[in-house]
Amino acid sequence: MSAVDNAIKEIVILGGGTAGWMAAAIIGNIFKSSDVSITLVESEQVEIIGVGEATIPPLLAVLESLGIDQADFIQATQASFKWGIEFVDWCEKGQQYFHPFGALGRPIDGHDFYQCWLKSQAEGDHTPLMAHSPEAMLSAHNKFYLPFEAMNTPLAGAHYALHLDAVLVGQYLRRFAENIGVKREVGHVEVANTDSKGFITDLVLQDGQTIAGDFFIDCSGFQGKLIEQTLQTGYDDWSEYLPCNRAVTVQSENINEPTPYTTAKAQDAGWTWRIPLQHRTGNGYVFCDKYISDEEAIATLLANLEGPAVCEPRVIPFLTGIRKQAWNKNCLALGLAQGFLEPLESTAIHLVSKTLALFVRMFPNKDCDSKLQHEFNRRVRVDYEEIRDFLVLHYCATQREDTAFWRWCKTMTVPESLQYKIEFFKTAGGLIPEAETLFQPTSWYAVFEGMQVRPENYNPTLDALDTTKLLQSMEQGRQSLAKAVLKQPSHQSFLSQYCAAKKP
């Protein structure tokens, strides 16, 4: 068989929502000028989860790669801007910290800024680490601007993301995908047929229609209609590290101007999120049902709303973990069908787009070479394990002992990979980022500091730097940043001037 005869010509995506339509948009954009056909099948009987409303900066690069105008996207999805995440009551009750997206400060005479800060603390400077973060300071003052418009200022290195209405994102990407030739079929899949090798050949809908394909992308949610129910791939349960197994969500009215950050507040049996959009606020409580009932969780969530609820609370059960293979035979699992990590660091949409980018780089023929699959699955697992470890850090480093849930977290079993990072960091603030890692040192520094995990010492090379010069440079940088922040417009005024969405 020639390479042309063996080429994939028909791609079928099962499931709409953000994952399905993002797959349709990205892969459809790759093949829009070819003879490869892409069909998305979605059922009106299946409700879209649609709770992943906070994102991280890489999403902006995805939009740019698709040629999507950012202002148009923001208006269509009722989006607001996001500099990072505010964590409340995680280490101790009454304590809060901020996880920003961008860099902290600037190197001084070639010395890493974080090491400079550690040295300055040892010399008696008590300025908080986040006083040197553009994103943290902008968030504290509810300010926003576009970083590329602040070149040669202390704000130039900032990074931002978006808060989105997930349902509107799915609708936006659907319009985009259909405009470039992706076909949409509405129907509920009864069964997926396979051949003698176990490869999926076609999907049979309730109305008897058959949809054949060379490759299938499973975006069917937690059930994993293709990857699990058909191919029986298996699932690795990570609840021993991340025990929360339910979330209750509700939307509320905006009574205050939207903040340019997500809020994650620790509760008695988990944590609540607050994600401000232009037209409403998304709220949720991620919890473990071993420590609290659904009714108690709903009551806690409603008591923490800033504005009146505009819908009925909805409870969503989940199991934290990852599919044993994200790519099995001629099926790729995406989104909730691939795995689930609680939305503490807003990584769900990123995992979808990064998985798709990796898949495009390793795009197979009809045979789906096992070596490609093995390397692909290894890399996906590395991404999941990195995020898992980062999430676990928020729990295991707590000092709280006021509830059974937090007492469990404080004494929990920690993954060996995370334990190594913690011990290595404690020696002298050491972190070694690997290629393509999602969370750069700034992210780890922010959470370590927020959870009161400090290195035992600073890097001894800092003793070669004049202490007076160090302290002066640190203070000058802090003052310059503070002045630059105050000159920026408020988050709300920026939205109103450049990308205000129509009220629904």
Strand order in the sheet with 215-218: 183-186, 37-42, 10-14, 215-218, 331-333, 327-328
Which residue in 115, 145, 40 sits closest to 491, CA to CA? 145
CA distance 221 to 48: 8
Which CA distances in Å does 500 have to 75, 80, 81, 212, 317?
6, 9, 12, 43, 35
Q: Any known ligand binding at 16?
A: yes
Q: Any known ligand binding at 429?
A: no
CA distance 342 to 52: 10
Candidates 9, 32, 82, 324; catalytic one: 82
Q: Which residue type sits at 138?
A: L
Q: Any known ligand binding at 442?
A: no
Which residue in 469, 478, 481, 479 sits closest to 119, CA to CA? 469
CA distance 473 to 286: 42
CA distance 105 to 27: 38
Looking at the chain, the number of H-run helices and the number of E-run strands are 14, 21
Q: Any known ligand binding at 345?
A: yes
Alpha helices in 88-161 (DSSP H): 113-122, 134-140
Angle in degrees, CA 82, 75, 278, rounded to 5 = 55
Q: Which two tokens stand for residue 420?
A: 């190594």
CA distance 287 to 279: 27
CA distance 134 to 140: 10
Is 82 assigned a catalytic role? yes
Q: Any known ligand binding at 410?
A: no
Q: Any known ligand binding at 182?
A: no
Q: Any known ligand binding at 82?
A: yes
Sorted by sequence, the CB contacts under 8 Å of residue 502 that are 6+ apart come out as 75
Fill in the DSSP letter of residue 366. Answer: T
**Which residues contribute to the annotated binding site for FAD?**
16-19, 189, 336, 349
**Which residues contribute to the annotated binding site for L-tryptophan?**
345
Q: Catalytic residue positions?
A: 82
**Which residues contribute to the annotated binding site?**
16-19, 82, 189, 336, 345, 349
